[in-house]
Amino acid sequence: MPISFFLVLSALLFSIGVYGVLARANAVLILLSIELMLNAVNINLVAFSAVMGSAVGQVFALFVIAIAAAEVGIGLAIVILIFRNRQTVDVEDMSLLKW
Amino acid sequence: MADTYQEIIFWVIAVVMVVAAFRVVTTRNVVHAALYLVATLLGVAGMYILLLAEFLAWAQVLVYVGAIVVLMLFGLMLTRAPIGSRDYDNDQRLPAAIVAGVLFAVMSWILIDAFEGMKVDLADPELARRGIPTEAVGDSIFSNYVLPFEAVSVLLLAALIGAVLMARKDEAPPPTQAEREA
């Protein structure tokens, strides 16, 4: 099957993730959308690894998975800290540094 | 024939994934958003299996579905998001949809244009025999990419310590010398 199926699928997932990041107001839901985008990138890496017959794409997909785990841990810690200080996770309310 | 099976399975998984991904970014219930994300992530694992990356598929299930989604649900509950009671979107839905649509159009046009003739054919005995065994992935990590691997390890450790330090509740100040002796 043509590799462009996988590439277009991952482009679609990435665009949905971009929409989520731009349109959502809850910080945890924004983190969920970022996960969608990271997974879209991973599909691309693995698809190219299968076509090229090289393991490097899978290696980097594994690195992306590990870094996504770190990102979620830190991201949620920050969100919880903001919630504890301001009793909200709505990014529209976090306008302290906005001019 | 194998090619058509692969395509049928691809379309089934792809439709489920895309519908679930749409629900992740549009649903009004935050817990449902996390559960729809599970469907999308399992679909990604299915794509990995279709692409002969079975180790990565199980890593995906373990790390994403097993750990990250649970962490997200914890985050949703700790921040006591009011479930289903209000709109979670801001007022930029239309511009966001335009940006995402244009991005998708441009990306898919470029990708189709650039990689038109490339095929991944499971029926090809050469690919099925050669594949990309997990062994090759492990060899590659621990020979050519051992430095990024170590960097990721240190990053994970730093993220772990940082997350614990940030999310920890502030304790009472440690007892002073006089209090301890009393």
Chain A residue numbers with beta carbons less than 8 Å from the beta carbon of B97 are 19, 23
Chain A interface includes B163 (CB < 8 A): yes
Q: Cα B1 to the chain's mean position, in Å? A: 32
Q: Which of A70-74, A82-86, B93-97, B146-150 has the lowest mean pLDDT?
A: A82-86
Q: What is the third-level CATH fold of A3-93? A: Helix Hairpins (1.10.287)
- State the pLDDT at residue B173: 65
Q: pLDDT (tens digit, 0 to 9) for every residue of chain B, 182 residues total? A: 556 888 899 999 999 999 999 999 988 888 889 999 999 999 999 999 988 888 999 999 999 988 899 988 888 888 866 655 456 777 788 899 999 999 999 999 998 888 887 777 666 666 666 667 788 888 889 998 999 999 999 999 999 999 888 877 766 666 677 777 76
How far apart CA B165 and CA A93 sit, in angstroms, is: 25
* A chain contacts of residue B144, beta-carbon cutoff 8 Å: 56
H helices within B54-145, ranges in order?
54-60, 69-78, 93-114, 125-130, 134-143
Amino acid type, B140: S
What ipTM describes this predicted complex? 0.90
Higher pLDDT, A55 or B122: A55
Q: Decide if B88 contacts B25 (C-beta within 8 A).
A: no
**Contacts with B121 (C-beta within 8 Å, 6 or more apart), sequence order:** A1, B3, B127
Dist CA B56 CA A26 (whole Å):
30
Selected residues 92-151 of chain B with any CB under 8 Å from a CB in chain A: 92-93, 95-97, 99-101, 103-104, 107-108, 111-112, 115-116, 118-121, 127, 130, 132, 136-137, 139-141, 144-145, 148-149
Phi then psi dihedrals of residue A90, to 5 deg: -80, 120
Asked if B20 and B40 touch (Cβ cutoff 8 Å), the reply is yes
How far, in Å, CA of A57 to CA of A20, rounded? 27
Domain ranges of chain A: 3-93
Contact B38, B23 (CB under 8 A): no
